[in-house]
Amino acid sequence: MTDASALPGRPRGGVLSGPATARAVNVLAPNPSAMTLDGTNTWILSEPDSDLAVVVDPGPLDDGHLRHVVGTAERAGKRVALTLLTHGHPDHAEGAARFAGLTGTKVRALDPALRLGDEGLAAGDVIAVGGLELRVVPTPGHTSDSLCFHLPADHAVLTGDTVLGRGTTVVAHPDGRLGDYLDTLRRLRSLTVDDGVHTVLPGHGPVLEDAQGAVEFYLAHRAHRLAQVETAVEAGHRSPAEVVAHVYADVDRSLWPAAELSVRAQLEYLREHGLI
């Protein structure tokens, strides 16, 4: 068995649900799959001495899960005052409207179609609820509407699907773009270097204790995959499906459809830069 401390980002062992930092509690949604790993992480954020909480990514439209999130907050003496979305994929956002109905909250997101209420989210926004401070970080790439939330008091960042607790994420072409994603990873690296972020609270998988190590691993992985795709094209593998079969031969075939999205994004990036 591999020591978790030797893995990229130093994933935290143990049960995923429960307290993760002084201000963050995870409630794991019951939707495990090859794409969602153990399931979607729904985050409850609150100052320790406050009776107000923010929930990030209520998750799928699963009434039992949504009520469990509300109950977890209430048992801690918290009332959910606001709902936030990292992006619009159903495993993160499908339950948001129902959750808003259960809690009487507004839903804030980058995509206007996902909002309930007048306020959206934009770069530089600072969200303050019950003394809790969250800073909105635009992180397009996985999707065009992807956001991360910087939690300065815990030296942490909530990354949605931009950085996962295990493995790597998909650049969901055509909405997701590789150039944007590489810029996003560099932006997150600056948070780890300049702003003291050391903990990743991901949308799937375990908490990562080494945020900088995780981001550096992602950057290296993307560079490696891009080089592999370029070599595959030079060897005559032209279609996305052919490139996937060549480059991802050692990956579970059930993940090939998702891998093809990333390959399409990589091919687009290589064409834009005149490399193929």
pLDDT of residue 15: 87
Q: List, for residues 62-120, the tens digit of each pLDDT value.
A: 999 999 999 999 999 999 999 999 999 999 999 999 999 999 999 999 999 999 998 99
- Please write the tens of the pLDDT for every residue from 10-44: 999 988 999 999 999 999 999 999 999 999 999 99
In this predicted structure, the answer to whether residue 204 has a pLDDT above a threshold of 50 is: yes
> How far apart are alpha carbons 195 and 124 in whole angstroms?
14
What single DSSP character describes residue 152? G
Q: Known catalytic residues?
A: 91
Classify residue 76 by burial, with Cβ atoms within 10 Å: 0-12, 13-18, 19+. middle
| pLDDT score of 192 more than 80 | yes
Q: Where are the domains of the chain?
A: 18-211
pLDDT at 97: 98
As a whole number, mean pLDDT of residues 133-161 equals 98
Quick check: 2 pLDDT over 60?
Answer: no
User: Rounded to whole angstroms, how far apart are CA atoms 197 and 212?
Assistant: 8
The model's pTM is 0.95
Which of 3.60.15.10, 3.90.1150.10, 3.40.190.10, 3.40.50.300 would CATH assign to domain 18-211?
Answer: 3.60.15.10
